[in-house]
Structure 1
């Protein structure tokens, strides 16, 4: 079967790319080894934080503001709420790069931000306990994205645009001969003019078929939900949060529709290969312990674990994304290495991939994410 473009990996970035490619009129096929949304990537677990005054560096700000516009457009097109404006509280030592990057991003891009002392935070949100040397940066316009609902929304719209989504179809071979691309799965062979690789933790394996080795490292990560006092921690009163502590960088969500507080640790994690058995949440002693230690220190009113899950990050050495054309094949676009902070950008990544395939250019600067930095 022949297509204008094939997308390998129909998760966060791939499904968005499939939507934008099909919307532009391209005959599009999406291949996924599983059935999205699924728990083999980085989009499951219901929710992801979106914030604009970006702690990871202000070079991300124009890109996240484009993503914000596209999330609003997606909500309007699908007719569902996909964003919850809870606000986001980021907290840590005022001198830390984490806090200073947020302040600088806010100042340089005129983003709404309230800088708060520890005592002000404790008064506003009684569920939080902070050391006096901590400050908080509260972004009132930020909040929570419904990640799995977003995958479903992009799938519905891509299919309505004529895209084909082939699930449970693992790619075994890729051959490129000029403008002709041949892709083989276990049971079928497909042909296309262009290719998008957005295979998450499997990107390294796929790219090796394209004579490209990038420094991508999949790791195991965990997150969990805890029972919480709904009067204090419900999403109408309590923000999403990110805390840079002496023990690590933690993030979390208010209790949405009674689900409980959701907490995870962003840094750390165990190296894995995605094809090998990954320990379930709780099989490693630190899974529960490191989350409970964070809560005991910063939110001591929360102490009863409900359940936890695992996911996979795919890290680059500098924790920055890879969004670029293949250095040898100009008809192959690559999106990988989102290092645990990519989902909020996935609408803009999908559009960027579509434009890379269409013209090789973007109107939003993605030069920070080029392959040649390695």
Structure 2
């Protein structure tokens, strides 16, 4: 990684966090709570709409179709979210239940079943035919396999970020928002962080800047992409009052869709990988500015949620994608830690990733096996 060199100087902070959205906000709170001298920086004022942490809600599920390596992180993340919920003035987590559904041959659904078995998770595994009896609003093929998680649910993403920032501030954490970082340089035994506001020094730095990470660390192997999601008209049948769950459904073509119980007759829905790479800042377009924005969900609604109506409004966000869709959680050297490549499924882990950054800053060993998320896997894949 190309990190600039500079002359030696005394570090003033124990940790500087670059990017204070989901992961960065959590890292600021847990690091300050651990007694460290911490500076949080963000080029905007989080939560904001120029990243991947907005849109009111995110799903948190435990029987993870993306791989069993994630489950220990998820279970700790859930515990931390529950703790934050108790401390927050606004709701953070709501146990709505989550329905995972896919064709029997789907790697996603088989991995979810394997994760549930390995970690003895509380799930109901049934057929699409049986699931339709319980949720007749969802038109699943009879042959589908479903994994229902009654203890999973939704996170109120912007509330969580606001709460972490507020709690960190109350503990005395320094916060520098609406201020862009322009460079990171090694400086003696620490790091020099250059911003529009001035230069700051720290023993260690955590970079969790989403798709903006490549401006500071251009060798990080992620691709910035644009994604959209939308709210559709839906009546009370699709609400939590009717026990309608959050869901992740994979169609016969292997395309993944996700949705939430309707609130005020509005059901939020998105498609996981229907995206456009971002090469220039002006390509971070708002919803409706790209010709495909309103089309990706129509076929899914027709076949799986025929009772849901038209699009009311939408939003766009960004993913920092890796080639294998797995996270990057690694050190660049002993002073710089990077959390990136969350690939559109990382928000639910933000709490535990923040705590992991705190452990790095303290010099403590991490309790989790993070070897699947190391940067060297990309070098290995090139040579194999």
Same fold (TM over 0.5): yes
Indicate whether 1:264 and 2:270 are aligned: yes
Match of 1:364 among 358, 363, 368: 368
What residue number does 1:318 align with? 324
What residue number does 1:249 align with? 256
Q: Partners in 2 of 1:246 and 1:126 — Cα distance?
A: 20
In the TM superposition, residue 121 of structure 1 has moved relative to its aligned partner by 1.7
Gaps of 5+ in 1: none
SS of the residue corresponding to residue 335 of structure 1 reads strand
In the TM superposition, residue 292 of structure 1 has moved relative to its aligned partner by 1.6
Q: Partners in 2 of 1:120 and 1:155 — Cα distance?
A: 44
What residue number does 1:373 align with? 377
Gaps of 5+ in 2: 1-10, 379-384
Indicate whether 1:345 and 2:352 are aligned: no
CA-atom RMSD in angstroms: 1.4
What residue number does 1:233 align with? 238
What residue number does 2:133 align with? 123
Match of 1:308 among 309, 314, 322: 314
Indicate whether 1:25 and 2:31 are aligned: no
Q: Partners in 2 of 1:91 and 1:155 — Cα distance?
A: 36
Indicate whether 1:176 and 2:183 are aligned: no
In the TM superposition, residue 360 of structure 1 has moved relative to its aligned partner by 5.2
Q: Partners in 2 of 1:274 and 1:120 — Cα distance?
A: 47
Q: Partners in 2 of 1:356 and 1:67 — Cα distance?
A: 17
Q: Partners in 2 of 1:317 and 1:77 — Cα distance?
A: 37
Q: After the TM superposition, which of the residue ranges 284-293 and 17-26 deviates more from structure 2? A: 284-293
CA contact (8 A) 1:194 1:331 kept: yes
Q: Partners in 1 of 2:183 and 2:295 — Cα distance?
A: 42
CA contact (8 A) 1:199 1:206 kept: no
Indicate whether 1:286 and 2:292 are aligned: yes
What residue number does 2:8 align with? none
Q: Partners in 2 of 1:3 and 1:259 — Cα distance?
A: 48
What residue number does 1:186 align with? 196
Match of 1:336 among 327, 335, 340: 340
CA contact (8 A) 1:324 1:356 kept: no
Match of 1:219 among 213, 222, 225: 225
Q: Partners in 2 of 1:120 and 1:340 — Cα distance?
A: 30
In the TM superposition, residue 2 of structure 1 has moved relative to its aligned partner by 2.8
Match of 1:159 among 169, 172, 179: 169
In the TM superposition, residue 285 of structure 1 has moved relative to its aligned partner by 2.8
SS of the residue corresponding to residue 184 of structure 2 reads strand
Residues 158-184 of structure 1, C-alpha deviation per residue, up to 9 Å, x if partnerless?
Answer: 111111111110011221123232111
Q: Partners in 2 of 1:221 and 1:127 — Cα distance?
A: 26
CA contact (8 A) 1:292 1:303 kept: no
In the TM superposition, residue 274 of structure 1 has moved relative to its aligned partner by 6.0
Match of 1:148 among 141, 145, 158: 158
Q: Partners in 2 of 1:119 and 1:342 — Cα distance?
A: 31
Residues 19-61 of structure 1, C-alpha deviation per residue, up to 9 Å, x if partnerless?
Answer: 1111111111111011100011111000000000100011111
Q: Partners in 2 of 1:43 and 1:10 — Cα distance?
A: 10
Q: Partners in 2 of 1:122 and 1:259 — Cα distance?
A: 21
What residue number does 2:382 align with? none
Q: Partners in 2 of 1:136 and 1:334 — Cα distance?
A: 35
Q: Pick closer, same or farther for the CA change 1:95–1:277 going to 2, 3 Å.
A: closer
TM-score (norm 2): 0.92
Q: After the TM superposition, which of the residue ranges 83-92 and 70-79 deviates more from structure 2? A: 70-79
Number of residue-to-residue matches in the alignment:
366
Q: After the TM superposition, which of the residue ranges 331-340 and 169-178 deviates more from structure 2? A: 169-178
Q: Pick closer, same or farther for the CA change 1:98–1:77 going to 2, 3 Å.
A: same
TM-score (norm 1): 0.95
